Chains A and B, each alone.
Chain A
Amino acid sequence: MKKILAVLSFALPALLSAQTDVTVTIDPSQASQIVRIAVPFPDSVPKTAGATVAASEEIREPFFAPLTRDLAYSDAFAIAPLPPGIAPTIEVAKRAGAHYLLKINVFREGPDYLVDPELLDMTGASVLKPQRYRSPRAALTRTAHTIANNILRIVRGTPGIFMTRIAFASNRTGNWEIWLMDWDGANQTQITNHGVISILPSWAPDNERMVYTSWLKGTSDMWIINRRGGGRIRLHTGLNLNTSATFSPVNNDIAFVGSTNGNPDIYLINDAGGNIRRLTSTGSIESTPEWSPNGRQISFTSGRSGTPQIYVMDAEGTNVRRISFEGDWNDDATWSPDGERIAYTSRVRGRFQIRIHNTVTGETRIVAGEGSNEQPSWSPDGRWITFQSNRGGKWQIYRMRADGTDLLPLTSQGENKEPDWSKKLE
């Protein structure tokens, strides 16, 4: 048994240790207790005959790094640093202040990697249902996210966001196409190949389909596609524009912007392309609808006051009220999963910023920083916001906590924009 593997667990990026000293609440009886988890680098000795040892370094980036990153950013755990050069036993973990020890065994069988995780409390009892994960190398990261989700559910009783995905538009192929990535920016996958402009993806609540805008037929149309890039259908509206489409969280309606005679308004259509209903009917520009999480309200942007501002109406189009009063250009409103906060793009002294409006208190605060920052989208647990920024010169997608801290760029190839975080916790 190679004891030196324990040493490798100290090769965690420095940002993790800074990140993990967070006090979290487990349940009322354990309020403000930090749950420390020791995660030694996996053993790679096969427990079954016929399997071969996995070279340790080859699983660091695709498996170990995302696993520890997930746990460290979960707000439920702090990583307990283990001393180097010592076998990671319960005793060692206990001396390191850990409440749990995550022992993982990874080995090869043909092209597959077999992963056996074991979560032990400090009495040595296993708290995770014994389960073996088999995956090709390309799916090792998803295995790591799945294990992190399971640990979070067992220890904290809440689902994790580690298997959620972010849809976005990228021009790295030379055309704007729809892409997907994991919540940490890994596994960036192209799912359209139209060769025209395809933008503004928006997830259905089941995390299986999304609706987007494409000029595939020469005009802008709404298309529905599944997460693997198949099952594409075009929604015929008989209107112009047909953009900014977004699925209802509670039924099969899609809100979108349609236009007749140059008058863009908010409409509904069902996901089979039927039952079109018009919700707004002013002479001004209306755009960018977004559903409240309970599906009862729709926010949108309107130029009826002279500048683009954020409004909210009931889902039937009634009871319209304005909610943004600061800045001369506000757009891209999107609701937090608990419905209490609305993030939107707000121009402040010539630059766009992410502003968060509290629907209960009416207060707003700005959470983004340099450059222009647009198109916010909440993580399904409400702790994170992904958005696009040109602070580095080109449009790229970033992720930050809802309070603006822990900023991380998620993309770097070509230009990337319009992130939309999948809606369901998996």
Chain B
Amino acid sequence: MKNTMMKSFTVGLILIAMALIPACRSSRKAKPTTPTTTVTETVPDVSATAATETVVDTQTDFVREDPRPTTEELPTDLDALNRYVQERGHVRDAFFGYDESALSADAQAALTSSANWLRSNPQYNLLIEGHTDERGTEQYNLALGDRRANTARQFLTALGIDGNRLRTVSYGEERPFATGSNESAWSQNRRAHLVIVGTR
């Protein structure tokens, strides 16, 4: 009953703290069983005051460590940085169907993740390489690679990434990731490959 009325997350935390910490003043206060109706009426409009009232005693810290933002030491070497962000899935390549330049759901997810990283790392720019498998003809595939790279670019700009940070280049079928003439290799090679290219 009490919990269902709580709208404020802060207040909820405080109440949990109250329930868990016997030394807490307000829990002592609560012992005399105040009617639940009065509590629920006061909490929504005086949450700030409620918070000040429920500050834990200094000698009984519940939170052992101050919450800190996690910091990442990004490699300064660009090759290492690219391996780092790709291995962790921060920046992910988009893969395409045969003779396709449309983005699948997987490709969109990969680019969304990449956009998030670019947004929180505005000091870096991105090169988008368009690649194709070996099956078509070389010259048409160069054009297809250009289209793939730009489809990825347009998706990233739609997610708010500044177009000035994004460059594209097509390699067509000239620089395959996987060798071999089978679907496994071909599907590896049909991609927009994202490369962090340096600071702005």
Contact = CB atoms under 8 A, between A and B. Distances in A.
A285 B138 contact: no
Interface string B156-177: 0000000000011111001100
Interface residues of B, number: 25
Given A240-B168, A262-B154, A352 B142 contact: no
A287 B169 contact: no
A285 B150 contact: no
Interface stretch (A34-42, A142-150, A214-222): A214-222
Contacts of B59: none
Contacts of B154: 261-262
Contacts of B138: 199-200, 374-375, 417-418
Contacts of B171: 197, 215, 220
B137 A285 contact: no
A213 B153 CA distance: 23
Given A262-B146, A262-B147, A287-B143, A308 B136 contact: yes
Among B138, B139, B142, B154, chain A packs the most CB atoms within 10 A around the CB of B139
B125 interface: no
B142 A329 contact: no
Nearest to B197: A218
Interface in A380-426: 417-418
B62 interface: no
A285 B132 CA distance: 14
Interface residues of chain B: helix, strand, loop or mixed (majority)? helix
A241 B141 CA distance: 11
Interface string B80-119: 0000000000000000000001000000000000000000
Contacts of B175: 197
Contact of B170 (A176, A218, A240, A303): A240
A220 B140 contact: no
B27 interface: no
B113 to A, nearest CB: 21
Nearest to A303: B140
Contacts of A219: 167, 169
B174 A176 contact: yes
Contacts of A374: 137-138
Contacts of B167: 219
B140 A241 contact: no
Contacts of A199: 138, 174
A229 to B, nearest CB: 21
B170 A220 contact: yes
Interface residues of A, number: 35
A331 interface: yes
Interface hub of B127, B143, B171 (most chain A Cβ within 10 A): B143
A261 B127 CA distance: 14
A43 B164 CA distance: 71
A372 to B, nearest CB: 9
A286 interface: yes
B137 A331 contact: yes
Contacts of A264: 143, 146-147
Interface in A24-69: none
A244 interface: yes
B144 interface: yes
A263 interface: yes
B18 interface: no
Contact of A257 (B137, B142, B174): B142
B27 to A, nearest CB: 63
Contacts of B174: 176, 197, 199
Contacts of A329: 136-137, 140
B151 interface: yes
B147 A285 contact: yes
Which residue, B142, B144, B171, B174, has most C-beta atoms of chain A within 10 A? B142
Please indicate which of the listed interface residues B138, B144, B148, B151 has the most CB atoms of chain A within 10 Å of its own CB: B138
B194 interface: no
Interface in A245-269: 257, 259, 261-264
A331 B139 contact: yes
A143 B167 CA distance: 50
A331 B153 CA distance: 27
Nearest to B168: A240
Contacts of A215: 169, 171
B126 interface: no
B149 interface: yes
Contact of B143 (A200, A213, A218, A285): A285
Nearest to A258: B146
A213 B169 CA distance: 13
A213 B141 CA distance: 14
8 contacts: A200-B139, A257-B142, A262-B146, A262-B149, A262-B151, A285-B144, A303-B140, A331-B136
> When A and B form their complex, which 7 residue pairs have the shortest distance between CB atoms, in order from nearest?
A262-B150, A331-B137, A264-B143, A287-B143, A288-B139, A262-B147, A285-B143
Given A197-B171, A257-B143, A303-B140, 10 more contacts: A197-B174, A257-B142, A259-B143, A261-B150, A262-B147, A262-B151, A288-B140, A331-B137, A331-B139, A375-B138
